[in-house]
Structure 1
């Protein structure tokens, strides 16, 4: 087994695994300040969207859904209003499957296109070269994002533009719902991770605060079993929130703390073959567990109600 790199971590993912809450927040300050300069409306969202009274008030501003033209979808005859109804109830809908040809084409693209490790554009490598990349860069690398390169893949763009996705988003978020993000990324097992890395990466529930109202579609592009980093979602946690979790700037919380309040039976672990898909309200508690044996390749298409960032691609931090 390789020794864990001894150099001081410089990327946000490493800090998130090895640093305390204050250090993690301090590392994100440059990103927060840049978000604020680009869009002053970001600050009230960031501070208030974590509280249930303000969230519910914002939901009241949702525009009515106009009658949308029915267009052929790669996902068949799934009805958007049925999906939205399930989302309102549990926060998640799991009945999506990518066509085999689409899944295989995106997976091929992801294998042949270099990704960026740990959100760092300096750490560029092909997924099959992950072990060599860890040796070359002297870093533990747990993820590899393709950022805007995913838009070079016609199959990925076809998923992004499928009419069902926007139809579901409008039925759930309101008529102003719009496409915000599209991304593909790898989650890698690593021989150089310490036990602290593994525990921190695997057992931290969090919720997303990218917008007042959001919806995210996820698709597995590789087979995902219990050892390949399955996604976990806490059903119903999008509709209620412990006061302690509303009055803190931290979005990540320990597994036992979350499940004690929302109930262990509320957490579902999502496994499935390549092509398996689901859509969730990311304000609900969720986590992506660590890939232990095999890499996990995943795609996300996100919708929101605010303008997307023009400055950087999804998940890309500002590091100083």
Structure 2
């Protein structure tokens, strides 16, 4: 049973504070230019999709979800896709998913036996069980380990990606044009002397995702995640209302005290649970991955969007064609 506690990780608030606005924008300019060159329509999304009037207008273009055939069975049982989508429309998140034991165990085995890449850098390659040795070998803190395209060799991960419930929920929520755009697995490791620069490169601050006009992300814990293993945090209902200041800034990450002052601490959901725990959220809502304290977290994500996928691999994950 997923434990969605109302809590605020006070010890992580310092992580939610990042560098100056100018430096944060400058660091992203090469990526922005690459996206603009590949798809000129990206600029309109990047500028307007953070504003509530433009988002509401774009939602009007959603096509009805096609009727469900019922020909394929889901590993998640008989959960009603339309009901899940309605829950996400209200709260921004649904927390009732659970992977079968054999599926999450196989993904866990893959993740332990397959080298990952630390801090999004392919030169930092190591096995998760050798994380401490890798930090010593590379002479730096390593907070994350992504498998990038190697996840495509994990049949259990592909089975989750293909599950009909995910597509049905996405189409009921995003519209009939919903399509899969990403699949990824990654480790989050406890920090040992990590610099603030390292922390700011990751997701340990309240932020919202702005990769498309409309998105939906399915997350699954592949190992047990308690309060000491970096649980995901989501701000309920923040996907459908937004402080004006947060609509008119070019950055997506904001200090914890600023976010909580507007949405209230009662809106904070800290998501813990045993291996196999899953949830689906609208990533336009404020969220963050907290910092593991004593043990690593292994997570899987399947994302849906409504626009043509970029050839650029954001976070290194494969783009689904």
TM-score (norm 1): 0.90
Superimposed CA distance per residue, residues 266-303 of structure 1 (whole angstroms, 9 cap, x where no aligned partner): 01000000100000000000000011110000000000
Query: Partner residue of 1:250?
Result: 251
Q: Which has the higher contact order (CA 8 A, sep 6+)?
A: 2
Query: Partner residue of 2:67?
Result: 67
| CA spacing shift, 1:195–1:171, aligned 2, 3 Å | closer
Residue range with higher mean Cα deviation, 139-148 or 194-203: 194-203
Give the deviation of 1:216 after TM superposition. 0.1
Give the deviation of 1:123 after TM superposition. 1.1
Superimposed CA distance per residue, residues 35-88 of structure 1 (whole angstroms, 9 cap, x where no aligned partner): 111111111101100000000000000011121211200000100000000000
Trace 1:1-320 onto structure 2 (pairs within 5 A): 19-70=19-70, 71-194=72-195, 204-310=205-311, 312-316=312-316
Residue range with higher mean Cα deviation, 110-119 or 135-144: 135-144
SS of residue paired to 1:315: helix
Contact 2:17 2:205 in 1 (8 A): no
| CA spacing shift, 1:17–1:31, aligned 2, 3 Å | farther
| CA spacing shift, 1:201–1:65, aligned 2, 3 Å | closer
Cα distance in 1 between the residues matched to 2:167 and 2:131: 35
Query: Partner residue of 1:3?
Result: none
Give the deviation of 1:195 after TM superposition. 7.6
Cα distance in 1 between the residues matched to 2:21 and 2:108: 35
Contact 1:203 1:255 in 2 (8 A): no
Give the deviation of 1:197 after TM superposition. 6.4
Cα distance in 2 between the residues matched to 1:138 and 1:182: 30
Q: Extract unaligned runs of 5+ from structure 2.
A: 1-15
| CA spacing shift, 1:140–1:19, aligned 2, 3 Å | farther
Q: Extract unaligned runs of 5+ from structure 1.
A: 1-15
Contact 1:147 1:314 in 2 (8 A): no
Give the deviation of 1:316 after TM superposition. 3.5
Contact 1:229 1:291 in 2 (8 A): yes
SS of residue paired to 2:186: strand
Give the deviation of 1:191 after TM superposition. 1.9
SS of residue paired to 1:215: strand
| CA spacing shift, 1:309–1:117, aligned 2, 3 Å | same
Give the deviation of 1:200 after TM superposition. 9.5
Query: Partner residue of 1:12?
Result: none
Cα distance in 1 between the residues matched to 2:138 and 2:262: 41
SS of residue paired to 1:101: helix
Give the deviation of 1:309 after TM superposition. 1.8
| CA spacing shift, 1:194–1:36, aligned 2, 3 Å | closer
Contact 1:186 1:297 in 2 (8 A): yes
Give the deviation of 1:192 after TM superposition. 2.5
Contact 1:73 1:162 in 2 (8 A): yes
Cα distance in 2 between the residues matched to 1:248 and 1:145: 29
Number of equivalenced pairs: 301
